[in-house]
Amino acid sequence: MTPATAVHPEEGEEGAVATFTQKRLAVWAVRLKVLGVLAAVSSVAEASQVQKVCHSGHLPVALWQGLPPSERVFAKLCLPAGETPSTVQLLVHGITYTHQYWDFPDPEGPSDRYSYVSAALNAGFATLAIDRIGSGDSSRPPGASVTLEANAYVVHQVVQALRTGWKTGPSSTVSFSKVILVGHSYGSFTAWYEASDYQDVDGVILSGVSHFVTMGSVMRVITPLVPAGLDPAFFGRGYYDPSYLTTRPQTRYSTFYFPGEVTRKVLERDEKTKSTVTLTEFAPFPLILTRPLDIRVPVLLFNGTEDRLFCGPSIQGADCSSAEALVATEGPRLGPQVPCIEGHVLQGAGHVLNTLGNAQEWFAVAQNWAVQRVGPDAGPAPGCGLWEAELLKQD
């Protein structure tokens, strides 16, 4: 399958192949030359698990500026074997998922076919996958206090800790000079706000998101939700106030995957590891989508062509039929100072990407972009020169 990719460097950028301004988006279709990164990432799916060293723990955080750090966010830091990278990818999941979305175990046996973490490590990066506040093993404050703004502020504190020194043991820390913020779905909403409000990351990868959500999309998500405290899957996990919601059993495929191809065993494991969302995380719709953004670092957009939550076929959904259409739709909404925006779409994929049979294509594109736009090394970020790509050729 030929990847579909679009590029928009800023006007005047050296090596630019197109111009991006508020008034005009000239869209170029390109095909990635993934080179060594693609070869390395693709090999991960066939091999046993990538060698990595991981440290799990909690970071004390505040929900709002001026409050004490009385909450805790769970995070899993993974490093490749050998020298510690200078760049870390901070991974932020969507609603009713946890950090496990980024390192999903293959239910068929040992492999990394569903592991974004392993792909990133194999490309030379470290990763930090968190449970968003209120989710998974992070603190569970009153649901009314878990908002998008709180999520963004918590992620900002995580970014700062990664730069100043992340604890890996009683007396050991590791720090990173560059941070790439990677989101999926509501995690991408969080990335919008964090990157705009705090200006403290070096690149942003947005997956499973757009500024176009139809009423049908909202109903697709809301209809299967029930109070988490009433779901047997959450019995024995402590108290969930009534504003904490989760999906009814056997609804995750129709809500998040349709019409993507996913195995029965993956769906079963997805059901067992599901998490929650709060009413207040939903409450601001559609204002979440209308707030002006001000992202000032390179951005990669990545959606499934059949994402029923954020894309068509409704005319009210974003056009995800091609990478160039996705960039043209989303580009103007990320702010006037984004230096370059690139896009890619995964053919046939629905909303969830990491656990599809062709997830390795998405992993490879993300790592190739991260290497060329930010870089895993301590030196200056490569920036917005020509992406390793070539114009699509007519077959």
Dump the DSSP string for 227-250.
Answer: EGGGSGGGTTS----TTEEEEPTT
Decide: 368 and 62 in contact? Cβ < 8 Å.
no
Angle among Cα 64, 69, 72 to the nearest 5 degrees reads 100
Domain boundaries, given as residue ranges, for the chain: 4-391
Alpha carbon of residue 153 to chain centroid: 17
Task: Render pLDDT for 307-335 as a digit per residue (tens, 0 to 9).
Answer: 999 997 666 789 999 999 999 999 999 99
Q: Which residue has the higher pLDDT, 261 or 36?
A: 261
- 118: nearest Cα among 367, 381, 376, 373: 367
Task: Render pLDDT for 113-150 as a digit per residue (tens, 0 to 9).
Answer: 999 999 999 999 999 999 999 999 999 999 999 999 99
pLDDT band for position 36 (cuts 50, 70, 90): very low
**What's the pLDDT score for residue 388?**
62
pTM score above 0.85: yes
**What's the pLDDT score for residue 188?**
98
Q: Do you find a cis peptide bond into 286, omega within 30 degrees of 0?
A: yes
Average pLDDT score over residue span 181-206: 98
User: Is the predicted pLDDT of residue 47 greater than 90, yes or no?
Assistant: no
CATH of domain 4-391: 3.40.50.1820
Q: Point out the least confidently predicted range of 38-42, 88-92, 157-161, 366-370.
A: 38-42
**What's the pLDDT score for residue 285?**
79
Average pLDDT score over residue span 71-75: 99
Average pLDDT score over residue span 74-88: 96
